[in-house]
Amino acid sequence: MLNLSATMERVLEERTRQLVLPPVDDPTGISELSYSSDCAKGIAAVSVPPPTQSQLRRERRVERCQQVVALFDSGHSQAAISNILGIERKTIRRWLRRGQFPERKPPHRKPPKVSHFADYLQQRWNEGCHNTSRLYHEIQQQGYGGKRSMVARFVGGWRTTGKAHLPRVLKESLPNMPPFSSPAPLRR
């Protein structure tokens, strides 16, 4: 049940923007921008961006840790704190031994194998080759051992439109061809 509730919290946190009701019109007529004392000079203060999901989760963990410490200082046992807050005793013991809130380490991920071929892929992309399979086969011959999908994901960020665009020099060198028309339907 603990895992389920924690997972549900995480899922709902990720969708908070979809769950928030639209703002109600402010009867005072004050806009969303907050103004500082420099307002008389016409300078608006920069509004603070809303906290991210990871920041909200961290704040909640800090509050839980503070609750654990407060309950322990008031004389509750670790088992009683576990029952009250619904946290594993192992976690409570670890927090109390530490003496301060344990910060999480940032995840350490190795860069994808395809990043070793970034310069070559960028060069080929600028030359007009936007075919992921072709790019994959070319770097595979140079020693790339990863999957095609990683190449597609890597170059996918470079696609600004749904169509591959040819450099202007190539477009001008192509002969003007009439538009393609479908053949007449076959009659039996």
pLDDT in tens, the chain (188 residues): 778 887 887 777 766 666 665 555 555 555 444 444 554 444 455 577 887 888 888 899 899 999 999 999 999 999 999 999 998 999 999 889 888 888 888 878 877 888 888 889 889 988 888 899 999 999 999 989 889 998 988 888 887 654 334 344 434 444 444 443 444 444 54
Long-range contacts of 115-120 (CB under 8 A, 24+ apart): 115/154, 116/144, 117/142, 117/144, 118/154
Euclidean distance between CA atoms 59 and 63, whole angstroms? 6
pLDDT value, residue 88: 92
Give the phi and the psi of residue 85 in degrees, each rounded to 5: -95, -15
* Side-chain half-sphere exposure of 162, counting CA atoms within 13 A: 0
CA angle 19, 22, 26 (to 5 degrees): 145
Euclidean distance between CA atoms 154 and 115, whole angstroms? 8
Q: Model-level pTM?
A: 0.39
Give the phi and the psi of residue 178 in degrees, each rounded to 5: -65, 155
